[in-house]
Structure formats: C-alpha cells, structure tokens
Structure 1
C-alpha cells in the first residue's frame, strides 16, 4: 500500500448517477433526490483498518472494514440489499467487490494529486464522481 486516502473531500462533479441508480432498481423519486445531492467524503485510513463516510444533507453512509477481509455489508440505507464485500488495494487504487443480487457491483477510489476519484459499477453501468480534498 503506497497511498494514504485519509482526508475530507467535497464533490466537484459526477457523471451517469441516474443510470447507475436505475440499475440498482432505485425508484425515480429517490433517484431525483440523490442526483441533486453534493456528498462529502471522509476517509480515515489506519493501517489495514478503514472508515469511509459519505455525508449528505439527506442521508449518511458509514462503511468500516479491514482490507482483505470479506464482510456482510448492509446497504439497506442505499438500496435495501445486503452483500458480501471485500476491499483491497490493486496498485494505487482501492477496489471494492460487492457480491449479491446484482452482478459486477463495486467501486474504485484513487487519488490524482488532491483529487479523489470514485468509479462505481453495477451490471454494465458505471457512475463516476470526482472530489477535491479540503482537509
């Protein structure tokens, strides 16, 4: 592991969020709300233990995990599902694989300077968010 993602980040752009949420079977009303939100991300990295907080005015989501250890993730706040999740480093990218009802579900985080990138996938649909480090 050569990258430390720790920091607080503010959303600067996102692409294809509505299609991503639709692929997760999120109803249109909730999709509209989510697409209007500007989430902040807080990442705390302490060795192989990590916490990723996604913070919005509508709903917050906290993900705590140990790298390389599969765990049962409750995504009830997002789409009402649970899945088996594993997060590992692949080079300089933090890669999450979520096994459950939906195929090819997961995400990747990586840094380019002070810019945090997040690419989320489900089935054959992707969404990308870009965040700027503020602290």
Structure 2
C-alpha cells in the first residue's frame, strides 16, 4: 500500500481546545496564553521510499523539530514543549500518521491526516483532545 506524501509547508488556519490540552500538560497560564495566540507553520519533508520524516514547527516564540523513521521507536525530547522525554513511535493507520508518546502522561500522542490541501492534527493527552488545521502553501 502506498501512503500519501506529506511534504510541504502548511500555515495554521484553525485551532480548537488548545488551552485545555496545554493545561493537561501542566503548562503555566502565561505560556498557555502565548501558545494559544501563536499561528505555527509546519514544514514537512517526507521520503515515502524510506519512511524518513522531518516535521519542523515554526513559531515566533520557539521552533520544534521532530526527525524520525515511520514505525521505529525513538527518544523524543519535548523540552521546547513541556520539558519531558518520551519514547515515541509514529506509525501508519491507513493514510493517517499516528504518534504514540510513552512517558509520564497517559494517552499522549497525535494523529496527522491530509484532506485536499489541508493538514489536520489531533493532539491527545489523558482524555483531552485539541485540534489544529493547516493549509498547504507550496
């Protein structure tokens, strides 16, 4: 089965429930307010042949890089986000990328999927779900 190529640059156009998600990650109120105002850009480089993927999240406050091979567990340093280290695995579920982050927070992870020129991101921790939608710009 061939999977979609996620490569491209995407600008955030919509966000839901981010404050509750950040609260569940124990992020302080001042930083939560700032993060909720940010409009991140996602830069994704995906090599479908090898499964290698680089996701760069760029904001005016901080940038966050995630480099991985789909299906291989790696240690993820979430320092820029909440200071935690997780054992992370990103796998395919049909055409969706599903990330499981094992660490001190239960049920942590995310799912990415494409619908036309929109990249969807659903972030989970404990029983909280936040969503972001990005529009492809190139």
Please give the range of the TM-score, normalised by the shorter of the 2 chains: over 0.9
2:95 aligned partner: 92
Distance in 1 between residues matched to 2:42 and 2:3, nearest whole Å: 20
- 1:129 Cα offset (Å): 0.1
TM-score by length of 2: 0.96
- 1:44 Cα offset (Å): 0.4
Q: In the alignment, does 2:104 pair up with 1:101? A: yes
Question: Which whole-Å deviations, capped at 9, do the CAs of 1:35-82 have from their partners, x for residues lacking one?
Answer: 000000011001310000000000000000011110110001100100
CA RMSD of aligned residues (A): 0.6
Distance in 2 between residues matched to 1:44 and 1:128, nearest whole Å: 22
- 1:103 Cα offset (Å): 0.4
Aligned residues, how many?
A: 135
TM-score by length of 1: 0.98
Distance in 1 between residues matched to 2:52 and 2:111, nearest whole Å: 17
**Regions of 4+ moved over 3 Å:** none
- 1:24 Cα offset (Å): 0.2
Distance in 1 between residues matched to 2:27 and 2:77, nearest whole Å: 16
| Corresponding residue SS for 1:61 | strand
Distance in 2 between residues matched to 1:108 and 1:123, nearest whole Å: 15
Where in structure 2 are there 5+ consecutive unaligned residues? none
Question: Which whole-Å deviations, capped at 9, do the CAs of 1:102-124 have from their partners, x for residues lacking one?
Answer: 00000000000001000000000
- 1:2 Cα offset (Å): 1.9
User: After the TM superposition, which residues 46-125 of structure 1 pair with which residues of structure 2 at under 5 Å, given as runs?
Assistant: 46=47, 47-125=50-128
- 1:5 Cα offset (Å): 0.7
